[in-house]
């Protein structure tokens, strides 16, 4: 993605958050960061097999651990209800592990791993309920794919047979939409903790021919000013 487009998306999002805050005369701005555990559900194995042409199909997938960070504006609608738009950088992806056929060593059955590393700009809009610090929230989220890399490695008997990394941004869908639900707690000193689940609704491949969707958990620590 061109740097200019990244800057435009970030600026538009920041202007939207700032506009909401100032128009409502609010100071409920916050920042949050944490750990994510993301994967791809659906035809995940078949989707990645299209990228890695040396697999023999004896594979399994596992989720990928990453992190997220960003900011938000909390806009009260009543004593217990608020809306909360935000913008976050978020790492997602998944892993494929198993036995692969590597040219020249097929009879050895080399072990290998393919790691799909995706980076998104997430823009959620939560409806949040709060009672004595306890918070529950849910809402839609729009995500833009900033970058995607596929790292493939293989080895046997301690010998590295393959170590390759490639940019696969062009074959993945640039946009994603999801529904997020979560729970949290807001402390009196401004600190807050939260846990949420993102349920992706759009197919991640660019031609939308494979039923593979982003799904993942997030656990975060934030500060509200």
- Mean pLDDT (whole number) for 177-184: 96
Looking at per-residue pLDDT, the higher value among 97 and 20 belongs to: 97
Looking at per-residue pLDDT, the higher value among 23 and 155 belongs to: 155
Residues 6+ apart with CB under 8 A from 4: none
Contact between 116 and 168 (Cβ < 8 Å): yes
The architecture (CATH level 2) of 3-224 comes to Beta Barrel (2.40)
Indicate the domain borders of the chain. 3-224
Q: What are the angstrom distances between the C-alpha of 143 and each of 9, 132, 162, 174?
A: 11, 31, 32, 8
pLDDT at 58 over 50: no
Q: What are the angstrom distances between the C-alpha of 26 and each of 21, 77, 85, 179?
A: 5, 12, 14, 26
Task: Give the model's confidence band at 42: pLDDT under 50 very low, under 70 low, under 90 confident, else very high.
Answer: confident
Q: What is the mean pLDDT of the chain?
A: 80
pLDDT at 55 over 50: no
């Amino acid at each position: 993605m061109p740097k200019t487009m990244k800057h435009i998306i970030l600026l538009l999002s920041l202007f939207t958050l700032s506009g909401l805050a100032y128009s409502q005369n609010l100071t409920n701005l916050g920042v949050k960061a944490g750990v994510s555990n993301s994967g791809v559900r659906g035809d995940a194995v078949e989707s990645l097999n299209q990228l890695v042409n040396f697999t023999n199909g004896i594979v399994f997938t596992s989720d990928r651990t990453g992190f997220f960070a960003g900011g938000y504006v909390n806009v009260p609608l009543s004593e217990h209800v608020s809306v909360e738009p935000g913008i976050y950088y978020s790492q997602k992806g998944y892993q494929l592990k198993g036995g692969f056929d590597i040219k020249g060593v097929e009879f050895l059955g080399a072990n290998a791993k393919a790691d799909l590393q995706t980076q998104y700009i997430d823009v959620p809009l939560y409806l949040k309920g709060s009672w004595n610090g306890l918070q529950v929230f849910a809402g839609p989220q729009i995500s833009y794919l900033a970058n995607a890399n596929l790292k493939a490695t293989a080895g046997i008997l301690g010998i590295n047979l393959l170590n390759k990394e490639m940019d696969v941004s062009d074959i993945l869908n640039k946009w994603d939409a999801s529904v997020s639900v979560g729970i949290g707690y807001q402390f009196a000193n401004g600190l807050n903790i939260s846990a949420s689940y993102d349920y992706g609704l759009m197919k991640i491949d660019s031609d939308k021919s494979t039923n593979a969707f982003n799904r993942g958990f997030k656990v975060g620590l934030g500060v509200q000013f």
